[in-house]
Structure 1
C-alpha cells in the first residue's frame, strides 16, 4: 500500500515511520526543516524498544499525496480545512482519508471538503519531535477507528506494523473519551510546564481534573454521546502509562506555536453553552492557555 501523511509532526511521523519500517511506501508531508532532515538521513524513529533510521519519502507539497491509497491527516485541528483543500486536487477518487487528530469533529470537517471516504480515528500515543527528522516515542500507540468496508484491512496492516487497532461502532464515544482525557491533562500540563507524572502529584490537581471530567461528561450526555468505560478511572490511570509525556499543548507553547486549545477545553465550553451546560473549570483552563498563547504584553 502507498501511504501519505499530511502533517508530519510527532503523531504523523510515528505512524508513518512504523508503516515504512514494515515496508510500506510512505511519504511524509511537512515543514521544510523536517523534510530536509528526512531526505538526508531518513526518519529517526526512537521508540521504547528500538532506535532506527527509517527510509521514507518526504515533501513540503500536498501534491506528494497523489497516488496514495491511504492518507493519514495529522495536522492540528485549526488547520483541518486548509489541509483538505490542499489535498483535494491530488487525491485519487478511491483514496481513504484517516483523521488522526485531536478533537471530535475533524472527520466531519474533512468530509465537508473532500469527496473521498473519511474515517475518524482516536489516537492514544505519547510522542514528541526531538529535532528535525527525529521523533521520540514515550508510550502506547494504539488506534480506535470507525467502521468501514476497509476497516478490517486497515487494522490488519497497522497490526502487522506494530500498531494495535480496534474497530469501534461507537467511535463518537471514543472520540469524546479522548477529548475529555485531553481536557483533563493538556491545559494543566501546559500551564505548569510539567509532564503527566509529576503533574498529577500537584496539590489540588486531582480535584481540578475531576471537575474537568464531570463537565465534559455532562456536555457529552447533552450531545447524546455514550462514553465507554469509567472516565474518572481512565484519567487517573493515564499518568501511569505516560509519566514522561508533556502535553501537545505544552509542547506548542514552549515552541511559540498556536495550540489546539480551542478544539479541546474550548470546544467543551462552546458545546456546553449551546446545550445549557455550565463548564466553569474548562472555561478557566481555556482562558489561561489563551493568555499564555498570546504572550506577555510588551511595554
Structure 2
C-alpha cells in the first residue's frame, strides 16, 4: 500500500519519519515550497528516546504537486493539518489526489471537519483518527517524539465490528511503524472524550502559559478545570454522546503523563499563529447555544484566548 501525509507539522513529520524508517512507502506533502526544499536537501531528523534517526523520502509542496502534475496513486491519505487550514482550496486539492480506491484519514482536533470535508470528498471515504501521540516540531526538518500514546480510527457512522482489507492493512502499517492503533465503531464517543479534555487543557495552558502538568499545582486552577469539564459534559449529553464515566480521572492522567509538554494551543500562542480555539471551545459554545445550555466558563476562556491572538 502507498501512503501520503498532508501536513508538515509535528505529527505529520513524526508519522512520515516512522513510516520511512519502517520501510513503508510514504510521500509527504507540505504547505510551503520552502519546507519541502529543506526536507529534500537535508532529510528529516527524528529524535526519539534520546536517539537521532535520519529519514529520506519523497516530499513535495502542494503547489509542486499541481505544477508538475504528479500522479501518486495513493491508497491512504493522512490529513494532518490543523482544522482551520481546511478550506475550499485544500479540499479541492485533496479530492484531485484521490482515486476510486483512495481513502482519507483525518487527524484533526475539535468537531465539524468531517462535515466540511464532505463538500469535496464522499463521506464513505472519510475516516477520523484520534491520537494521544505527542511530538514537537523543532524546525522545518526536525521533529521530536515527546510521548507515546494510542491511535483510534473509524467512521463516525460505523456500527459494524467487521473491518475490510484496506482498514486492516492500515492498522498493520501503523503497527509496523511502531504505533499502537486500532479500528473502532465507537468513534463519536472517542472524539468527544478527547474534545472535552482538549477544551480544558489547551485554553488554560495557553492563557496561563504553563506546561500541562502545572495545571495540577493549583486548587483554583483545578476547580476551573472541573467547571469546564462539567459544562462540556452537559453539551455532550444534550448531543446524545455517551462520555467516559471516569473522564475527570482521564483528564488528570493526561496532565500527569504529559507533565512537561507544551500544549499545541500554547505553542501557537508563543509562535504568533492562529489557534484551534474556534474549533475546540468554540465548537462546544456553538452547540451549547443550539441546545440552550449555558457554558460561561468556556465563553470566558474562549474570549481570553481570542484576545491573546488579536
Range into which the TM-score falls when normalised by the shorter chain: over 0.9
Answer yes or no: is the 8 Å Cα contact 2:103–2:126 preserved in 1.
Answer: yes
Moved more, 235-244 or 24-33: 24-33
Answer yes or no: is the 8 Å Cα contact 1:249–1:259 preserved in 2.
Answer: yes
Mapped partners of 1:134, 1:141: distance in 2: 20
Mapped partners of 2:115, 2:16: distance in 1: 23
Mapped partners of 1:172, 1:146: distance in 2: 9
Aligned to 2:160: none
Mapped partners of 2:167, 2:298: distance in 1: 34
Unaligned runs of 5+ in 1: 295-299
Aligned to 1:291: 307
Aligned to 2:273: 257
Unaligned runs of 5+ in 2: 156-162
Answer yes or no: is the 8 Å Cα contact 1:70–1:95 preserved in 2.
Answer: yes
Structure 1 residues 28-77: Cα deviation after superposition (integer angstroms, max 9, x where no partner): 11133432221112111112363211112211116357312111001111
Structure 1 residues 173-198: Cα deviation after superposition (integer angstroms, max 9, x where no partner): 00000101111100111112211122
Answer yes or no: is the 8 Å Cα contact 1:139–1:242 preserved in 2.
Answer: yes
Mapped partners of 2:228, 2:148: distance in 1: 23
Alignment TM-score, normalising by the size of structure 1: 0.93
Task: Give the number of equivalent residue pairs.
Answer: 294
Q: How does 1:129-148 map to 2 (within 5 A)?
A: 129-146=137-154, 148=163
Mapped partners of 2:71, 2:280: distance in 1: 28
After superposition, the Cα gap between the structure-2 partners of 1:65 and 1:182, relative to the gap in structure 1 and judged at 3 Å, is: farther
Alignment TM-score, normalising by the size of structure 2: 0.90
Matched, 1:120 2:121: no
Matched, 1:29 2:45: no
Mapped partners of 1:254, 1:270: distance in 2: 27
Mapped partners of 1:50, 1:180: distance in 2: 34
Mapped partners of 1:3, 1:15: distance in 2: 11
Aligned to 2:77: 71
Question: By how many angstroms is 1:81 displaced?
Answer: 3.2
Mapped partners of 1:24, 1:263: distance in 2: 33
Structure 1 residues 85-128: Cα deviation after superposition (integer angstroms, max 9, x where no partner): 22212321211100011112322322221137110111212212
Answer yes or no: is the 8 Å Cα contact 1:27–1:56 preserved in 2.
Answer: yes
Aligned to 1:52: 53
Give the secondary structure class of the aligned counterpart of 1:29.
strand
Q: CA RMSD in A?
A: 1.7
